[in-house]
Chains A and B, each alone.
Chain A
């Protein structure tokens, strides 16, 4: 069954949805959209460095994404005007990655696969990496769920309850780097942030408690992955962007249903 490229693509898409749903909810609640962007864009730089130094792409992406996420997180605690700084970092990381990739010797690199993903080309080992990453992120967030939620609600209340908000931020930073590394192959650096934010935003209208929102974000992300693949298969559209288009359609739908 795993020999069918569509089945592998579906499994990969669902794996990303599982990893991105709960984390994406925190990204939405904490208004960290740009944070996700900057980290995802840094992945391109990770790809370039991995190719130059001949290490696995996932490892290179993970390390650079981790460095970027840590740096941005540290900046956020300094309380500077974050908007412009994050914008600069995010775009600088992307541009630097594109420049660095041009230095990669040998075979020409298929850049669009890294920018927009290549979900139809995932192999069995890719699926293992994606589901391993998803399991790791889910376990991490499930373990820290209550303190994370309290720190998101109010750092004051968290500290008064004996929770260290810095540690909870570190958990999110780690999780974000892992999600970026595993989602790169599926939706590409430009659309990873979309997989974090769009399903979670769509889930908001359906939820009365945080746990429900995280659950619906996973469900909507998985449905979008399958729907996008179907759209890609039937209409010969690019798969990664199709997934995001379907997710955006579901956001529109849930928002309209709620307004009614």
Chain B
């Protein structure tokens, strides 16, 4: 049985069509990556799946009692709200301290428990949000552009981390990628969205699909770069910008 499925979902803001007849299903344990240009409806689709937005047509069905871990795109906490990481992890429900220790170790945020959430860096915040999502022992993790703001090695490390999580927890992962051209190779399926589902399949199938090329052809000569497992050889192809470190 699918963990979650959307059947013929359509959504419009006023006269602007955001989603048009979108159907998809996520099966237990699989990693699905959603790619699409800016404004293609990716975030809206996530919000429809998590129940934040009710679609105008079609329906979303969840497995009963689905344990859903949700990692939002960003979380801006007002400075006026005092909140330690530990208190945040216990919202809205108190969690078992042992479970919190495990999630903190799993996401590498040990030692941050007493820090104020508003003072965290982008990368730390991302890991705290992931830790919070893990506390529900999720069957499905939904992540909205989780690697935004990370550099390339950071992104690669995050993808490896997700893959390990999937293997150890057995949870399915549904992830929106902000980068059209870089998709984690461990994805079982890639769904390419431009208001409607224009193509889907394994990363290689999507890479070769004419619809994908038509949409994203300009960026890397149409290539869908995949993170392979030879990460040791990965350091050559990203640019370092040393300008920022110059002292006047």
Contact = CB atoms under 8 A, between A and B. Distances in A.
B239 interface: no
A146 B93 contact: yes
A150 B91 contact: yes
Contacts of A154: 72, 75
Contact of B80 (A155, A160, A163, A204): A204
Contacts of B75: 153-154, 157
**Looking at B77, B88, B91, B142, which has the most chain A CB atoms within 10 Å of its CB?**
B91
Nearest to B90: A146
A152 B114 CA distance: 20
Interface string B78-103: 10111110011001110000000000
B186 interface: no
A207 B83 CA distance: 9
B64 interface: no
Interface stretch (A66-74, A106-114, A209-217, A228-236): A209-217
A145 B182 CA distance: 42
B52 A153 contact: no
Contacts of A207: 82
A80 interface: no
Interface residues of A, number: 26
Contact of B81 (A147, A153, A159, A201): A153
A75 to B, nearest CB: 19
A160 B82 contact: no
Contact of B83 (A31, A157, A210): A210
Contacts of A152: 81
A209 B70 contact: no
Contact of A212 (B82, B92, B116): B82
A28 interface: yes
Nearest to A158: B92
B59 interface: no
B70 A160 contact: yes
Interface string A116-153: 00000000000000000000000000000011011011
Contacts of B81: 29, 152-153, 210
Given A204-B82, A213-B82, A153 B50 contact: no
Interface in A27-76: 28-29, 31
A154 to B, nearest CB: 5
B244 interface: no
Contact of A208 (B72, B77, B82, B93): B82
B92 A161 contact: yes
B91 A160 contact: no
Contacts of A213: 82
B52 A29 contact: no
Given A154-B72, A160-B51, A160-B70, A208 B84 contact: yes
A159 B68 CA distance: 11
B78 A160 contact: no
Nearest to B86: A209
A156 B70 contact: yes
Contacts of A201: 80
Contact of A209 (B47, B50, B83): B83
A194 B75 CA distance: 29
A26 to B, nearest CB: 10
Contacts of B83: 153, 209-210
Nearest to B142: A160
Interface of B: 47, 50-52, 68, 70, 72, 75, 77-78, 80-84, 87-88, 91-93, 114, 116, 142
